[in-house]
Structure 1
Amino acid sequence: MTMHSTPAEATRALIEAYYAAFNEGRPQGMLDLLSEDVAHDINQGQREAGRAAFAAFLDHMNVSYRERLTDIVVFASADGRRAAAEFVVHGEYLKTDAGLPEARGQRYVLPAGAFFDVRDGKIARVTNYYNLQDWTAQVGG
């Protein structure tokens, strides 16, 4: 990270780097920005804890989906401890995910958002939100 004049600017840069790594297909780049005990709240699912669980989640996602994010806007609290992002997911459904419609390479465009806790310059929580019913309708479920 480069030097930033405020905690909010440093946090915005951290979240922007996280999404840049996502869009560049660099899961290790994403993992390097997470705390060892990161909490991950999966959309309409459970909370997972730890970088290893997050790595397994990314591996699974990269098999079933190909996604790119656009229109990313990052907000950060003045103290840099909390952040939020809003973006549009452009994806392709590659491999059927358990409990979801059959994958046939369907494409989707989905507005989404995320909330973050930041501790000691690392992402300590990621909470993702999107409309699962919208996604299901787009892939023909």
Structure 2
Amino acid sequence: MTTTRDIVTTYYAAFNAGDSEAMLACLAEDVRHDVNQGDPRHGKALFREFNAHMAKCYREQLTDMVIFAEADRAAAEFIVNGTYLATDEGLPEANGQIYRLPGGAFLSVNADGLIDRVTTYYNLTDWMRQVGA
């Protein structure tokens, strides 16, 4: 039986591999994606668009990962190690700046063993300072 910890671990391994399709395979069709800044996104199609945008603008690896899992809920704490590749709308100009900042997420898993909510947090002010805003 796949546990909540297993599915969350698989999801983040896919993230670190840059494998958006493997990430999507971990998600329910009606996934709710709450990002640090902006409106929630609902459904895999919007999650796919978000991932494509992120891959264009950022290259990120998560390290120092700690996952706390309980029944149908999980929390993850990590360090985001990234490179700002292409200017994102409304943000400072990108020129390959490297950043490192703590982040975290809360996730829930449905009865089918798929992630149906991902809520991500990081300190945008810290990120802006690191990329030279």
Tell me which interval the TM-score lies in, with the shorter structure as reference length.
Answer: over 0.9
Q: Tell me the equivalent position of 1:125.
A: 117
Cα distance in 1 for partners of 2:108, 2:37 equals 19
Tell me the alpha carbon deviations over residues 39-70 of structure 1, each in whole angstroms, 9 at most, x when there is no partner.
Answer: 00011211010000000000000000000010
Q: Secondary structure at the match of 1:121?
A: coil
Q: Tell me the equivalent position of 1:69.
A: 62
Cα distance in 1 for partners of 2:41, 2:17 equals 24
Cα distance in 1 for partners of 2:21, 2:99 equals 25
Q: Secondary structure at the match of 1:91?
A: strand
TM (norm. structure 1) is: 0.92
In the TM superposition, what is the alpha-carbon distance from 1:136 to its structure 2 partner? 0.2
Q: Tell me the equivalent position of 2:87.
A: 96
2:59 matched to 1:52?
A: no
Q: Secondary structure at the match of 2:13?
A: helix
Q: Which residues of structure 1 form unaligned runs of 5+? A: 5-9
Report the AA paired with residue 132 of structure 1. Answer: L
Of the three residues 129, 132, 138, the one matched with 2:130 is: 138
2:39 matched to 1:38?
A: no
Q: Secondary structure at the match of 2:29?
A: strand
Of the three residues 90, 96, 108, the one matched with 1:105 is: 96
Cα distance in 1 for partners of 2:19, 2:86 equals 20
Aligned length, in residue pairs: 132
TM (norm. structure 2) is: 0.97
In the TM superposition, what is the alpha-carbon distance from 1:117 to its structure 2 partner? 1.1
Aligned alpha-carbon RMSD (Å): 0.8
- Runs of 4+ off more than 4 Å: none
Identical aligned residues as a percent = 58
Q: Tell me the equivalent position of 1:7.
A: none
